[in-house]
Amino acid sequence: AEMGLDPYKYTPFKDPALNDDDTDSSASSPDPSDSPDDGGGDDAQWCSCGFCEEMATPLEQVCCRDVPAVVAVNEEGCITRHRAFDSICCLPDVLRVFYWEIRDSEDGIDVDEAHRAYRYAAYRMFTRWIWRTLGRGHRVVLPACVVTRIRREFPSASYVGFRYPPL
């Protein structure tokens, strides 16, 4: 991989206590009273927080309000509006240090690939914040609002969606 980046090397793992029905529950229709007035997502029918946007696959169309671990951290509204979200997932200096930690290296981040590295670190930071650790070989689909917000902070011309680990 470019930059010596192995995007799934430290992938967070799914909590076995969560069942597969958790991702299916994201198909509920949004509550209009929860919709923010300050420019949320694309009116995704499966979104309850008002900040999700359509994702590439139905598997990735998960709202933060439908993930019990996220709701435990943020009881109301969108997790991307939580007071700690920006400092955990959107500050380049924090993400750079975390990236060095997970890469076990203090090599500089290539300027051309900086946003890719920051997105990777931000996804990992979010997962660590919400689930702590999931165990080797387990992955979770991050809420669409989280992915959208991180992609806006650190844009790229192309993205890779959620992938299950190889068998």
Instruction: Write out pLDDT tens, residues 87-138.
Output: 999 999 999 889 888 876 666 666 668 888 899 999 999 999 999 988 888 8
User: Domain extents for the chain?
Assistant: 2-153
161 torsion bin: left (phi>0), alpha (psi -120 to 50), beta (else): beta
Average pLDDT of span 44-70? 94
Checking 104-109 for CB contacts under 8 A at 24+ apart, the result is: 105/4, 107/4, 109/3
Give 114's contacts (C-beta < 8 A, 6+ positions apart): 92, 154
Mean pLDDT for all residues in the chain: 77
* Predicted structure pTM score: 0.68
- pLDDT band per the 50, 70, 90 thresholds, residue 7: low
CA distance 43 to 23: 19
Work out the average pLDDT over 22-44.
Answer: 40
CB 100 within 8 Å of CB 3? no
Q: Which residue has the higher pLDDT, 23 or 116?
A: 116
Q: In angstroms, what CA-CA distances link 122 with 22, 30, 80, 108?
A: 23, 26, 12, 17
pLDDT value of residue 28:
35
